[in-house]
Amino acid sequence: MKDKKRILIITLIAILFSYNSYALDDITSGSSGGEFLKVGAAGAQFLKIGVGARGTGMAGAFGSLANDLTAIHWNPAGIADIKGMSGNFNYTQWFAGFKHSFAAFALPVGDNFTAAAHVISFSSDKIEITTLERPQGTGLYYTVNDIALGLSFGGYLTDQFSFGITAKLINSAFSSISSSGFAFDVGTMYETGIQGIKLGFSIHNLGTEQTYSGQALATARKLYDAMNAAPLDVVYVANSFSIPLIFRAGASSTLIEDDMNKLIAALDFVTLSDTPEQFALGLEYTYKGFLSLRGGYRIGQDQFNLAGGIGLNYVGGGFIGQLDYSINPTKDLGLVNRLSVNVGLK
C-alpha cells in the first residue's frame, strides 16, 4: 500500500511539472516579441483575481500556506486541512465599479479527505454603449457577468503529503454574448518536517478553449446596397481564446512559534500564460492565536506590489471563526479592499 501511495505522489508531481512546461510553451509560441511577449494571450481574466483577505494580505504568497476554503484558488491541496464542516465568503471591491465575490462550502469525507463546492462571481455596474457615430453614448447599457462553479476534492495520502483537484465550469458574458467551458486545477503540498517548512505546487485552468456566441453577433445585411433585395441574416464568427494557465510553486516556514507569538514567512513563484513571471513575498504574525497582522510585496506586477492585512481568529466550543481584511494599493487604479469571513466546526 505504501509503495502505491509513493508511486502516486511521484506521478502527481511529475504531471504538474511536465504539463506546465509543455502548456506554457505551446500557448506563448508565436506571440509578439519584446516586453509584451504574452500579453493578451488569454481571456477569462477574473480567474486570476486573488481570493481571500488572508492570502491577498500577503501579496499572494499563499500557495504553500492555504489551509481553508480559499485554498480552492491558491492550491486545492490545502482543503485537505479542513477537518469539519466549513463555509467561506469573500467580497472584493474591484476598481472601475467591478465586484468580485467568492463563496464555498466544505464537508469532510472520512478521516483523510474533504469535498468542497464553490462559486466565483465577477460583475460590473451598468456600462453605457458607445458607437463611432455616438461616442458620447447611445442611452443603452450593458453589464459584464462572469461566473465559475466548481467542485473540489482533496486529502492526505501520507502524514506529510496532500493533494487536491478542482473541476469547474466557467462562463464569461457581457451584453448579449457569452462563452463557456470546463477547466481543472491540480495541486500538491508537502510538509518537510524541518523548521516548519512546507512546499506547495499547483497548476490552474487546464481546460478547453472558449468562443463567444450570442445575439449581438447576429445581424442582417444586404450583399450589395444597390440591389433591391431583402437583407440576409449574418452571424459573425468569433475567434476562440484560451483561459489563463497558471503554475504556482510556493514555500513557507514558521520562523517563531511559542505560546504568545507565531511568525510565518512565505515565498511564491508564479508562471502565467499571458503575463510575465511573478514573485510574491509575505509575512504573517499572530499574537495569542487571536490577532494576525500581514504584509507582502509582489515582484513582476505592474499595478499590485505592496499588500497588507489584519485578521481576527476565534476557536472555542467546537467552533472556528475567522474575519480577515486586506488592502492592495495599485499604482494607477486606486485601492482594492477585501473582506473575508470563514466559519467552521471542529
Instruction: Give the integer Cα–Cα distance in Å for 28 and 39.
Output: 9
DSSP state of 50: -
- Cβ–Cβ < 8 Å for 80, 108: no
Domain boundaries, position 73: 2-345
Q: Name the domain count of the chain.
A: 1
pLDDT tens-place string over residues 33-74 = 345 556 667 888 999 999 999 999 999 999 999 999 999 999
Q: Please name which of 323, 303, 248, 254 lies closest in space to residue 283, comparing C-alpha atoms.
A: 254
DSSP-assigned beta bridge partners for residue 66: none
pLDDT of residue 314: 92
- Burial class, 32, CB count within 10 angstroms (exposed 0-12 / middle 13-18 / buried 19+): exposed
Where do we find the cell 491558491? Answer: 74
- Which residues of the chain, if any, have pLDDT below 70? 1-40, 222-227, 229
CATH number of the domain where residue 111 is located: 2.40.160.40
pLDDT tens-place string over residues 262-309 = 999 999 999 998 888 999 999 999 999 999 999 999 999 888 999 999
Instruction: Count each helix (H run) and each strand (E run) in the chain, helices first.
Output: 3, 19
- Cβ–Cβ < 8 Å for 70, 97: no
Instruction: Give the integer Cα–Cα distance in Å for 181 and 214.
Output: 15
